[in-house]
């Protein structure tokens, strides 16, 4: 049997691998353990000529090889989009949407071959609720003490709207001054010029913000989820929202709003900010959360540990049903059956 090629739309890196790369490495490891031969490649999709089929994670314009003559093998593009895409970019592939919103955009655009929705996989054996004592140790290692801890995880771009999160947290601390925001990202200053430390200072957050910009191995990321009380995901849109999925797998409740991505994953509406402002930009519907609404939901979560526990259990169950690694592999195996020569 020829190998299965897993191609990443972003360059493969030893340090600070992208979420795309992390996802493909997770699948590659599981498939290899089952005896399937798998090759991992970057945007050039090196190895296509040897492969029996290929799964490409990214956007069509990230894969120059898609413009070459037909390869004669099944090509699957694991797709995310915030608006109806140009269908010409999908002529050589079967588009496999990450969420129902992306599926709708692909159909609306008239993409010829659209497969079933397959979400990103989460290793729910690794990302799991903490055992007795693990949460307390995680909180000690993070220096959280008894404070109510809100967290956020993601690359620092404007789309993540960390500025609105800091504003919401500042409103929360007006009534809960001992709260702490743990923000794990890749840089303090975004490419667009937003300086998180300067913004936090202007909002008077002081020691209320714990900013982490170093690369975290998976065990440290899990420890972060274990130590938090709520994860906040306030992006304008997400193709999926892997941190939200990992956090829910760890039994952590997630606050979000109506934007594409995490709102499609979260199985409850108790921490959903439903009054976000909307705007169209380049054909994409982008949502900006109301800081006051988000702060009110965080305050409710802080007051009600029973609510946090119930939502944590519901999120864990949802991830086991939908995003657990074996279920995602089963979805891909159904597509790949008959496609490997």
Domain layout of the chain by residue ranges: 4-121+324-336, 134-322
Q: Residues 310-329: pLDDT tens digits?
A: 999 999 999 999 999 999 99
Exposure string (b/e) for 130-152, b if CB count within 10 Å is 16 or more? beeeebeebbeebebeebbbbbb
> Other CB atoms closer than 10 Å to residue 12's CB: what's the count?
16
Secondary structure class of 76 (helix, strand, coil): strand
CA–CA separation, 88 and 71 (whole Å): 17
- The architecture CATH gives domain 4-121+324-336: 3-Layer(aba) Sandwich (3.40)
Identical fold for domains 4-121+324-336 and 134-322, yes or no, is yes
Q: Residues 68-124: pLDDT tens digits?
A: 878 889 999 999 999 999 999 999 999 999 999 999 999 999 999 999 999 999 999
Per CATH, the homologous superfamily of domain 134-322 is Glycogen Phosphorylase B; (3.40.50.2000)
Sequence-separated (6 or more) residues with CB below 8 Å from residue 212: 182, 183, 184, 185
- Which residue carries 């937003």 as its tokens? 194
Q: Residues 167-209: pLDDT tens digits?
A: 999 999 999 999 999 999 999 999 999 999 999 999 999 999 9
- Of all helices (H) and strands (E), which one includes residue 264? helix 262-265
As given in the structure block, the two tokens for residue 142 are: 């993070």
pLDDT at 46 exceeding the cut of 90: no
> Other CB atoms closer than 10 Å to residue 338's CB: what's the count?
9
pLDDT at 210 exceeding the cut of 50: yes
CA–CA separation, 317 and 233 (whole Å): 19
pLDDT at 340: 44
CA–CA separation, 60 and 292 (whole Å): 38
In terms of Cα–Cα distance, which of 162, 181, 199, 157 is closest to 298? 181
Sequence-separated (6 or more) residues with CB below 8 Å from residue 94: 74, 75, 76, 77, 113, 114, 115, 335
- For CA atoms 265, 230, 312, 272, give the dihedral sign: negative
Cα–Cα distance list, 283 to 79, 86, 286 (Å): 17, 12, 9
pTM for the predicted model, two decimal places = 0.95
pLDDT at 40 exceeding the cut of 80: yes
Sort residue 27 into left (φ over 0), alpha (ψ -120 to 50) or beta: alpha
List beta partners, residue 149. Answer: 180
């Amino acid at each position: 049997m020829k190998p299965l090629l897993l191609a990443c739309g972003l360059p493969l890196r030893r340090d600070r691998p992208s979420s795309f790369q992390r996802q493909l490495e997770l699948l590659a490891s599981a498939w290899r353990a089952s005896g399937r031969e798998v090759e991992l490649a970057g945007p050039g999709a090196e190895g296509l000529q040897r492969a029996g089929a290929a799964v490409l994670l990214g956007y069509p314009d990230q894969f120059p090889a898609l413009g070459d003559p037909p390869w004669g093998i099944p090509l699957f593009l694991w797709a995310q989009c915030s608006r109806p895409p140009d269908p010409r970019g999908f002529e050589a592939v079967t588009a496999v949407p990450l969420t129902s919103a992306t599926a709708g955009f692909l159909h609306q655009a008239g993409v010829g071959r659209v497969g079933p929705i397959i979400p990103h996989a989460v290793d729910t054996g690794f990302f799991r609720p903490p055992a007795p004592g693990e949460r307390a140790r995680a909180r000690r290692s993070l220096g959280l003490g008894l404070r109510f801890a809100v967290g956020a995880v993601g690359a620092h771009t404007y789309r993540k709207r960390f500025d609105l999160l800091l504003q919401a947290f500042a409103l929360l601390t007006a009534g809960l001054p001992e709260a702490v925001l743990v923000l794990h990202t890749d840089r303090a200053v975004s490419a667009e010029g937003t300086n998180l430390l300067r913004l936090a200072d202007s909002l008077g957050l002081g020691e209320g913000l714990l900013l982490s910009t170093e690369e975290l191995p998976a065990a440290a990321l899990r420890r972060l989820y274990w130590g938090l009380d709520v994860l906040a995901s306030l992006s304008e849109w997400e193709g999926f929202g892997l941190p939200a999925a990992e956090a829910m797998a760890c039994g952590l409740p997630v606050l979000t709003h109506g934007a594409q991505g995490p709102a499609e994953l979260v199985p409850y509406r108790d921490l959903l900010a439903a009054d976000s402002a909307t705007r169209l930009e380049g054909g994409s519907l982008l949502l900006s959360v109301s800081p006051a609404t988000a702060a009110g939901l965080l305050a409710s979560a802080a007051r009600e540990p029973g609510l946090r526990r119930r939502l944590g259990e519901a999120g864990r169950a949802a991830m086991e049903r939908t995003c657990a690694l074996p279920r995602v592999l089963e979805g891909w195996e159904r597509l790949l059956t008959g496609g490997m020569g």
